[in-house]
């Protein structure tokens, strides 16, 4: 929200300008509106993230098959030194 308004639509009278109280009230309303919108987004994301039990089992089975593949195991072996260095870096910089 900008406190500077286009003067073309306002009267030149000082009483026509919004006061600090009105500007604060408007800002609070904007915050409330934003919070309501964010709460709705959270509800939508939570609803979308819930899997049915059969979907969960299928996803776990798919992940297990990926982790059991030769490509996964080879990638883990190749990246082992990188993972060790990251772990050591986190431990040292802690």
Count helices and strands in the chain by DSSP H and E runs: 3, 0
The pLDDT value given to residue 11:
60
31-76 pLDDT, tens digit each:
999 999 999 999 888 887 777 889 889 999 999 999 999 999 999 9
Find the distance separating the first CA and the last CA of the chain, reported in whole Å: 41
| Reported pTM | 0.42
pLDDT given for residue 72 in this prediction: 95
CA torsion sign for 91, 92, 93, 94 is: positive
Please tell me the distance from the alpha carbon of residue 30 to that of residue 33, in angstroms, as a whole number: 5
pLDDT digits (tens, 9 = 90+) for 21-37: 888 999 999 999 999 99
């Amino acid at each position: 929200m900008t406190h500077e308004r286009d003067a073309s639509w306002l009267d030149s009278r000082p009483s026509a300008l919004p006061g600090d109280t009105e500007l604060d009230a408007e800002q609070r309303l904007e915050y409330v509106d934003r919070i309501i919108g964010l709460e709705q987004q959270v509800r939508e994301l939570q609803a979308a993230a819930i899997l049915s039990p059969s979907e969960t089992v299928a996803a776990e089975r798919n992940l297990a098959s990926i982790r059991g593949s030769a490509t996964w195991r080879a990638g883990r072996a190749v990246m082992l030194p990188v993972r060790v260095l990251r772990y050591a870096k986190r431990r040292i910089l802690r």
